[in-house]
């Protein structure tokens, strides 16, 4: 288990991207496994975004010089959240399901790339050991809190 907030976020990102990849490759996958993987993806995304917004972005908004990229990232989260029900309410065998997943996957991929590149760079400059430890603690707690509601 990572004890560095940025490593924890990277681990989550990898999990989410792996799930998107397997859903996209899974053309031959059964309907059931697609549904299961999508539920896992949705849960991972919602937990991650919630914890990231309430803990990591909140800290950055209070401390970073460039707040604009953080505000933009929040809007990207909102766009992903809006796309999720459209996929969820489409049957996995419907021809619209794959394009819907693909477009959302592209949004997530783009978001993660910019986040790890620009936002993490800012965070690294501001990070001190004590701040990191508090963020790790709060992030874990925020994820656990979402688990109940997802």
Q: Which stretch binds Fe ion (CB under 5 A): 26-34, 36-44, 114-122, 124-132?
A: 114-122
d(CA 39, CA 35): 6
Q: How far is the CB of 16 from Fe ion (least distance, A)?
A: 8
Q: Which is nearer to Fe ion, 46 or 92 (CB)?
A: 46
d(CA 5, CA 150): 22
d(CA 86, CA 105): 13
Q: How far is the CB of 42 from Fe ion (least distance, A)?
A: 15
10-69: contacts with Fe ion (CB under 5 A)? 52
**Which residues lie below 8 Å from residue 114, measured CB to CB, with a gap of 6+?**
69, 73
Q: How far is the CB of 108 from Fe ion (least distance, A)?
A: 9
Q: Which is nearer to Fe ion, 76 or 98 (CB)?
A: 76
Length of the chain: 150
The binding site for Fe ion (CB under 5 A) comprises 52, 115
């Amino acid at each position: 288990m990572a004890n560095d907030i940025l490593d924890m976020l990277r681990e989550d990102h990898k999990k989410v991207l792996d799930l998107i990849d397997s859903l996209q490759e899974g053309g031959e996958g059964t309907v059931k496994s697609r549904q299961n993987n999508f539920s896992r993806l949705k849960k991972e995304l919602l937990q991650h975004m919630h914890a990231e917004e309430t803990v990591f972005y909140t800290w950055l908004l209070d401390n970073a010089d460039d707040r604009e990229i953080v505000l933009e990232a929040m809007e990207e989260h909102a766009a992903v959240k809006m796309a999720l029900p459209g996929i969820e309410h489409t049957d996995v065998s419907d021809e619209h399901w794959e394009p819907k997943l693909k477009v959302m996957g592209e949004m997530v991929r783009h978001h993660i790339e910019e986040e790890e590149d620009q936002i993490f760079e800012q965070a690294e400059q501001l990070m001190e050991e004590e701040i990191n430890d508090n963020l790790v603690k709060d992030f874990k707690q925020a994820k656990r809190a979402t688990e109940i509601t997802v």
